[in-house]
């Protein structure tokens, strides 16, 4: 035989960040919605689905629409959108609190809980109208052909009506959360003082399934978890009636997202040929921005703070939620500028000590870079701040945060949350909104938002 031919192996090209993010979303897709994590969070979560749809719209606008439609199908008669929609195929012991704890179909009957699906009885931040509008803009033709906006608009309007009515515990127009899980930043030190009034549930009465999948040093303490269980059980035993619990807090992030979604719902109503409703809703969003500043802004600290409705006092803890109002277009310029300074100062370290904005004050006594919402950085809050910086003209800083988010997303394997200094991943990997929002940052052109698209057709409000 002649000389042996030399075979040259082709180099293996590693998958791109886009491909890896898409793989996470396909792996977490159930057929009608997306789980945050197959292991730790095996059901549908409310604000997770809203953020996931924002990224999913770049891959499949149809699936993004189904994501939101599945969640809103579980809406209660009083307008609330529950924070968990349970998958009946998942064993009860896979997640706690499970459907048999919440008892939505019986304890929630008075409040109009659906009979065909089991849900929790509390809520999460109202990102849904904003998500629905962005999903519509991804493929307006498909959206109109399926009457997507026409079908979700009444549900979104009822959802906002519930929050601005039944949850207005302070009487000033802002919504209150009645459980730390509702605000989404479950274990924040911002809740320590209001929670101290709550007697924890007997630990023998439940089993923490979260510790099967996460390290104890990363998760809430048993004391805090016992208080969460007590609050939820008491709310359930009141048949989910609002206004009589031991915990009621006006949170700046929750209300900023409600205001942002009011603007988005105004866009939806204008698209549907409801100009008077749209104009009134946009005006209300402007007014609510003023109320947010009046009630929760501390000019001396350059931060928004939570207000404990039972004590009437602001809670002097610097959580990342106090920066999230930067997403609001009607925020006074002086307030926006102060928030930018605070984000880049010693408490949050953006552009300096921290790779990503932490969930809690770097200098605070309760800061912990690993423990759930007591210091780690999260992709959804940093995504919101990237949008807020860009909205208020901070293009270079927004570009820097965008680059850092994409780097950390890839390095961490789309972790649930990360050490704010190092970017080291904590919690679940292949986390739904981490992948979805990285995808959005990759595929939603920031140049369009810098040129006015942020408030117009192509960007955050567009």
Provide the token pair at 35: 């789980």
416 given a catalytic annotation: yes
84 - beta bridge partners?
45
Catalytic residue, from 23, 168, 186, 301: name it. 186
Which residue in 139, 416, 419, 440 is the catalytic one?
A: 416
- Give the H/E segment covering residue 380: helix 379-391
- Residue among 233, 244, 234, 187 nearest 214 (CA): 187
Token digits for 442? Answer: 């990759």
HEC string for the chain: CCCCCCCCCCCCCCCCHHHHHHHHHHHHECCCCECCECCCECCEEHHHHHHHHHHHCCCCHHHHHHHHHHHHHCCCCCCCCCCEECCCCCCHHHCCCCHHHHCHHHHCCCCCCCCCCCECCCCCCCCHHHHHHHHHHHCHHHHHHCCHHHHHHHHHHHHHHHHHHCCCCCCCCCCEECCHHHHCCCCCHHHHHHHCCCCCCCHHHCCCHHHHCCCHHHCCCHHHHHHHHHHHHHHHHCCCCCCCCCCCEECHHHHHHHHHHHHHHHHHHHHCCCHHHHHHHHHHHHHHHHHHHHHHEECCCCEECEEECCCCCEECCCEHHHCHHHHCCCCCHHHHHHHHHHHCCCCCCECCCECCCECECCCCCCCCCCCCCCCCECHHHHHHHHHHHHHCCCHHHHHHHHHHHHHHHHHHCCCCEECCCCCCEECCCCCHHHHHHHHHHHHCCHHHHHHHHCCCCCCCCC
Determine the Cα–Cα distance for residues 24 and 45; give it in Å rounded to an integer.
16
Question: What are residue 119's DSSP bridge partners?
Answer: 85
Q: How far apart are CA 312 and CA 300, in angstroms?
A: 19
d(CA 327, CA 390): 9
**Annotated catalytic residue 237:** no
Residues marked as catalytic: 186, 416
């Amino acid at each position: 035989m002649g000389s042996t031919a030399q075979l040259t192996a082709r180099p293996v090209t590693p998958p791109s960040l886009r491909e890896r993010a898409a793989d996470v979303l396909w792996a977490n897709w159930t057929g009608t919605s997306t789980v945050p994590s197959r292991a730790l969070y095996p059901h549908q979560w409310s604000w997770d689905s809203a953020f996931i749809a924002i990224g999913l719209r770049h891959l499949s606008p149809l699936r993004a629409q189904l994501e939101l439609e599945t969640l809103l199908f579980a809406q209660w008669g009083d307008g609330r959108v529950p924070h968990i929609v349970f998958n009946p195929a998942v064993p009860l012991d896979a997640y706690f609190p499970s459907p048999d704890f919440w008892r939505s179909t019986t304890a929630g009957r008075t409040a109009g809980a659906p009979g065909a699906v089991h849900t929790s009885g509390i809520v999460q931040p109202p990102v849904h109208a904003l998500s629905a509008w962005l999903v519509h803009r991804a493929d307006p033709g498909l959206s109109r052909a399926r009457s997507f906006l026409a079908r979700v608009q009444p549900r979104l309007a009822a959802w906002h009506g519930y929050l601005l009515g039944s949850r207005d515990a302070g009487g000033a127009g802002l919504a209150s959360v009645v459980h730390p899980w509702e605000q989404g930043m479950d274990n924040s030190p911002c809740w320590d003082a209001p929670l101290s009034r709550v007697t924890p549930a007997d630990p023998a009465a439940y089993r923490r399934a979260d510790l099967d999948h996460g390290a104890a040093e990363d998760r809430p303490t048993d004391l805090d978890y016992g208080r969460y269980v007590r609050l939820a059980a008491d709310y359930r035993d009141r048949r989910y009636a609002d206004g009589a619990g031991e915990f009621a807090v006006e949170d700046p992030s929750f209300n900023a997202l409600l205001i942002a979604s009011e603007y988005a719902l105004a866009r939806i109503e204008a698209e549907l040929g409801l100009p008077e409703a749209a104009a009134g809703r946009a005006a209300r969003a402007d007014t609510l921005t003023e109320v947010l500043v009046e009630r929760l802004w501390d000019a001396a600290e350059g931060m928004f703070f939570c207000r404990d409705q039972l004590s009437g006092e602001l809670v002097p803890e610097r959580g990342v939620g106090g920066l999230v109002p930067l997403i609001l277009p009607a925020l006074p310029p002086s307030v926006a500028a102060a928030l930018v300074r605070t984000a880049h100062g010693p408490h949050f370290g953006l552009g300096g000590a921290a790779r990503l904005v932490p969930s809690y004050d770097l200098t605070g006594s309760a800061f912990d870079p690993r423990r759930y919402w007591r210091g780690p950085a999260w992709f959804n809050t940093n995504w919101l701040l990237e949008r807020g910086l860009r909205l208020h003209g901070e293009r270079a800083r927004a570009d820097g945060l965008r680059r850092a988010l994409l780097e950390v997303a890839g390095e961490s394997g789309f972790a649930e949350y990360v050490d704010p200094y190092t970017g080291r991943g904590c919690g679940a990997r292949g986390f739904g909104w981490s992948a979805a929002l990285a995808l959005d940052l990759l595929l939603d052109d920031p140049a369009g938002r810098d040129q006015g698209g942020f408030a117009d057709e192509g960007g955050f409000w567009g």
